[in-house]
Amino acid sequence: MNRAFKFIMVAVVLLGVFLSLLVGWRFRVVEKRELMSEFRRVIDAKAVAFEREISLNLEVLFAFKSLFSASRKVEKSEFRTAAFEAMQRHKGIRALAWVPQVNGEERRTFESERFADNPAFRFHEVSKSGWRIAAVRREKYYPIYFLEPEESFRQMVGFDLGTDPAFGSLLDDARDNSSLQVGGFSGRSGFNNTDQTTFFGLLPVYAGRPDTVASRRKNLRGFILGVFDFTALFEAAGWKGFQNLAAVCLIDGGRFGAKGEIYIHRAQKEVSLPASIAYERNVQVAGKPAWKLQAMPIGDYFSRYRSMTPWLYISAISFIALMILSYLWLMTKHAASVETLVSQRTRELDEANRKLASLSLTDGLTGIANRRFFDDHLDQEWKRAQREKHPLSLIMVDIDHFKAYNDYYGHQAGDDCLRLVARLLQTVVARPGDLVARYGGEEFALILPQTQNGAKKLGECCRATVAGSKIPHHASPVRPVVTVSVGVATVTPAVGEEPFRLVKTADQALYRAKLLGRNHVVMESVHNQCDGSSKPATSPPH
């Protein structure tokens, strides 16, 4: 009996050790799968931030397009000042250039205009042997005419982009489609001073607003060319501290340059990427997939986040298997059921909290952001504008004679009117960072980050959109349709200022719009406290 007991004891211990090892191994498998899921979620979040940084930097090209569209002749000093300011705000921009379309008979005129500040300027190309030579005679030229910083890339000034067949094809596509084109350079390019890899954005500029391919070819003035630094954009998107934990590369499948890797982001440049890719996703640029991002955890990623629980569990069960094996088996089953129940309850609670949070930040009548969400979002964008020193605009919109509307049509119709106006205002904004909120009663508010010159235009768009919807309002002394009064305020907040000054100024502009007879747009700029008061800019009704 004693020997049988010992045999049973040894068998139970061995079984306990075996089971503990098996469970520990299973924990490791599940944990690794969870870590990989978390890794993918992290990569997704960082990729979205990277896409946002690319979009913010590419927006500069549209600003320069407006500069050249507004003026028939832009001076070099004017371009240089604007480019310097843009590169100060956006660290991902390595260079900005103006590339005019020059007819063959105009070549001498363009070269002579640059002779005063650059006697060596000429239209040139690169021979097959790699030497810079004068550009051969052709019908059209696309020289790099203005370039900032010119000192760093002097050899590129005057280079005719049309001599490169791949670039020439890209110029034609951008011109005919009136669209932003993006391409990547494989290896070192003329715009690289280091081993960092760049990519470019190309945006056409026309005389007027041609809407056909033939008119675009006829009215093309040139292109805005931006050269952007992958490394700076990755770091601005929060990837810098992730280099030791993941190897990331961008794959360009486009027709410009060689297909394959265009950028690799990892701490150890000499270490090759793993053969297997743990995760792959598209990177959206200018609203369409441009590159593929491939990522693989490296170094101590798993060891950093992996817990010691499985090993402790194995050691504990192996040490006390003889005494509590049976009890542990029962407790394990009980713990599994409790864990399942807790997990289920947690999911239900998370879902309830998510719905509650959504309700607490959404206006119950119109379905847009409520006053609480507005206050939080304004505070967040205000602090970001203070840090990054960029402008922030606020538009206040008030439905004209809404009380008379309620008295004439009834409160149910008034609620329908509020919902419709909220939907109309949402169609005005397009950027992800813009917010439309119900400020209170019949008053709405629009928060527009990084917006200054276009704020009043958006305010006028709000007014015109509501008036153009022709919602009947026979009780209004302004017009027989629903109209709105709009107050616009813009500020570049200084350190120490509070966002209530922007709200107060927008409210004052709205008050002036009402004094002008309603259905008006009034804009005021918020000056620093040491500045004087500003003159409102008004927009009459149409």
Which of the residues are catalytic? Answer: 442
DSSP 8-state assignment for residue 136: P
3-state secondary structure of 370: coil
Least Cα distance to 244 among 188, 307, 292, 305 occurs for: 305
* Residue 202 near residue 238, CB atoms below 8 Å: no
Which amino acid is residue 190, in one-letter code? G
* Residue 488 near residue 507, CB atoms below 8 Å: no
Least Cα distance to 487 among 450, 534, 423 occurs for: 534
* Residue 227 near residue 193, CB atoms below 8 Å: no
For residue 309, what are the CA distances in angstroms to 32, 213, 300, 327, 332? 13, 66, 18, 19, 15
Beta bridge partners of 222: 100, 205
The Cα 406–Cα 73 span in angstroms is 54
3-state secondary structure 154-193: HHHCCEEHHHCHHHHHHHHHHHHHCCCEEEECCCCCCCCC
DSSP 8-state assignment for residue 481: B
**Which H/E stretch holds residue 407?**
helix 402-409
Burial (CB count <10 Å: 0-12, 13-18, 19+), residue 529: exposed
Q: Determine the longest span between alpha carbons in the chain, in angstroms.
A: 113
The Cα 474–Cα 481 span in angstroms is 7
Where in 400-442 does DSSP place strands (E)?
435-440
* Residue 362 near residue 373, CB atoms below 8 Å: yes
Helices (H), 188-308: 213-219, 230-236, 301-305
3-state secondary structure of 140: strand
Beta bridge partners of 223: 99, 204
Beta bridge partners of 487: 396, 522
CA dihedral defined by 154, 157, 162, 167, rounded to 10 degrees? Answer: 40
What the block records as the tokens of 257 is 């340059």
**Cα dihedral across residues 148, 151, 154, 158: positive or negative:** positive
Which amino acid is residue 9, in one-letter code? M
The Cα 317–Cα 310 span in angstroms is 11
